[in-house]
A and B are shown apart, each in its own frame.
Chain A
């Protein structure tokens, strides 16, 4: 009998092409590219290389696209417009299947991959974006790479990697009502620290994770990188299989049956060893809000500003001892690869329908298909009637490089993943929270506990 192996071990082992000096050359099943991948394509052109496996490469523009319309002509500057158009040119030149602006399938890479069934259990998925950890929610090993690595994968369909250590995070207990997957993620990052899981692949386990919907697992895995982890993953189960069945790029017919049989062997063996184990009890969790400039600066909403690093306090314009609740916000952003899926929009709309936004608020769905689904459910109407702007899909204000940013010193309640200095615009103060909490902040014009 072979030694017991974890989900991660099983996926890693089957992707090793060869080993050399402590590194493994890994085979890549799926490579997703976006409009920030131009350095990689420039690299290929310079060397006269072709894309080795166009059928395993998928593209969609997300970082630079305008969300007010579906025309790159509406980009705020010619340079931003050029990014979107360069992307299209690269996709055409290399014969890569792309979901372009105007195609309902276009959207944020980490929303589109799972939604289209491009991401599957057991696969190795990479993308030139750190939040690629998201895809692990379906039982894939997925991680973000740089542009040199991007070019390497395009040309060879492989990547050199050192085997990460493994960390099992068991979320146990009972998750209280009103506590979202985002809150679990923020609580965990606060516990581990922003670099606490560096060099590790996390497997999320435990009763609370098992009970999560696939979209909640996507949110949880998405934030793995904010604890420094290389990847986050959840063992595939019936919920995963149901989610994937019938998705456009998921296996069909006999291939589906073969895949299903293979996927059922993926979960970690009972005796599998992990380099580290951490347990989080969800029972006492509250909605979480970040106060500072690192995702580890997360507090329960009932908390008070701690005596944290001076620079973070000054940047955020906060004083230790001040309560989080009641802090006025200037703007609200609901979107990003963390929280822009249909369940996120439903949670936000359920709050938005109770009132009117006191501050500018915008909702940016994660993909054209999420947008369509939300409109079919009437969520767009709820948001509009509550004074929220209803946008087209893209990364938008999470990273702001499409020109959609806040103004200096503005305080933003945001469902995105990073509260770094300047992330949402120079001088902008970001408070991360769940979609329901962000919607509640819009209605109140300040940070409130959505449960009250």
Chain B
């Protein structure tokens, strides 16, 4: 899924350590993807739920966002609800990877910057520029960020990761043979 630059309304959400059970309650995980996971985003939060009704595409969160379960449904829910980028001081590692693999750009920015962006009025537009690796605030302030070069390239060009790896079959096969020779006990019975 391709991503170059996006200017869109953002929505902020204050809590720290938001786990993927909050983003997508487990009971919805058995839904086929075709059902659209957007309807389940933050389903059970009730009061204090982020305001998702304004067509926001950028989510500004707090520390350790998306910690907990590996459920990729949490990334599906953001994507299907229209989000294409999530900004936070830090992320749960698995959620971070799940975002990258589902066309959502996870952006790590310093605590203070995220706090400022979360405090913007709901619907204020931010720009996430993956080419320049910077986030532009409404008043024009630029905040540099870094995404792993590998994934930046993938997203900019819309490269299919699995397709890329499948094209490396001869390297994988050669590795596998060397490995089986070095560790004959390791390759399974």
Contacts and interface: CB of A to CB of B under 8 A. Distances in A.
A195 B29 CA distance: 24
Contacts of B171: 17-18, 25
Interface string B49-64: 0000000000000011
Contact of B185 (A20, A130, A151, A259): A259
A47 B30 CA distance: 21
A156 interface: yes
Contacts of B182: 14
Contacts of A123: 186
B175 to A, nearest CB: 4
B30 to A, nearest CB: 5
Interface stretch (A203-211, A417-425, A440-448): A417-425
A336 B125 CA distance: 44
A157 B166 CA distance: 10
A160 B150 contact: yes
A22 B165 contact: no
B152 to A, nearest CB: 8
* Interface bracket on A: 35 or more
B140 interface: no
Contacts of B183: 14, 122, 262
Interface string A1-37: 0000000000000100110111101010110000010
A135 to B, nearest CB: 14
B186 A418 contact: no
Nearest to B153: A21
Given A259-B185, A401-B27, A198 B90 contact: yes
Contacts of A162: 148
A21 B188 contact: no
Interface in A396-441: 399-401, 418, 420-423, 426
Nearest to A196: B64
A230 B93 contact: yes
A99 interface: no
Contact of B17 (A17, A148, A195): A195
Contacts of B67: 194-195, 198, 228
A151 B17 CA distance: 28
B72 interface: yes
Nearest to A249: B189
A149 interface: yes
Contacts of A151: 162
A146 B25 contact: no
A120 B185 CA distance: 10
Interface in A119-175: 120, 122-123, 128-130, 144-149, 151-152, 155-158, 160, 162, 164
A356 B15 CA distance: 41
Contacts of A158: 165, 172
B186 A400 contact: no
Interface in B61-89: 63-64, 67-72, 75
Closest 4 CB pairs of A and B: A195-B64, A21-B150, A255-B185, A251-B185
Interface of A: 14, 17-18, 20-23, 25, 27, 29-30, 36, 39, 42, 47, 49, 53, 55-56, 64, 79-80, 82-83, 120, 122-123, 128-130, 144-149, 151-152, 155-158, 160, 162, 164, 193-195, 198-199, 225, 228, 230, 249, 251, 255-256, 258-259, 262, 294, 296, 309, 311, 399-401, 418, 420-423, 426
Given A49-B166, A401-B30, 8 more contacts: A29-B187, A30-B188, A120-B185, A130-B94, A147-B72, A195-B90, A198-B91, A426-B44
13 contacts: A23-B151, A36-B29, A56-B188, A144-B70, A146-B75, A155-B162, A156-B162, A199-B93, A228-B92, A249-B189, A296-B17, A418-B68, A422-B25
